[in-house]
Amino acid sequence: MINVELAVARGLSDEDIKAIEERHKFRDGRGVPADRWNLLRAWRANESELQKLWGFQPNPHYHKEFRIAGCTCPKEDNEQFVGTEYRYVSKICPFHGIEANAEVDTKDIK
């Protein structure tokens, strides 16, 4: 449960409170936010912007997406594949696993 007094003092809407509760569950490993696709989209855009700012062509093969909070894909193994199209994927990863892939097909994530 979130701090209700603080939520009232901050003027949070019911929607804000729901979003906060989802993120707490996510952080505690008890679920993933319904809007995790927005998080993933923002994360990818941020990676591409950083590549441009460093003077590189934006290239998703260099994205270290396995570092996003909540991703359960193997980190060290995937470091070796940076720069290629290959990645190790955890079946239960909320961003890259089986359920995620089924949803991504309908979410147009790129």
Least Å distance, CB 101 to Zn ion, is 10
**3-class DSSP state of 108:** coil
Binding stretches for Zn ion (CB under 5 A): 71, 73, 93, 95-96
- Whose Cβ is closer to Zn ion: residue 10's or residue 64's? 64
- Whose Cβ is closer to Zn ion: residue 32's or residue 71's? 71
- Whose Cβ is closer to Zn ion: residue 17's or residue 70's? 70
Q: Output the DSSP codes for 14-71.
A: HHHHHHHHHHHHHHTTS---TTHHHHHHHHHHHHHHHHHHTTPPP-GGG--GGGSTT-
Least Å distance, CB 100 to Zn ion, is 8
- Looking at residue 2, its amino acid is I
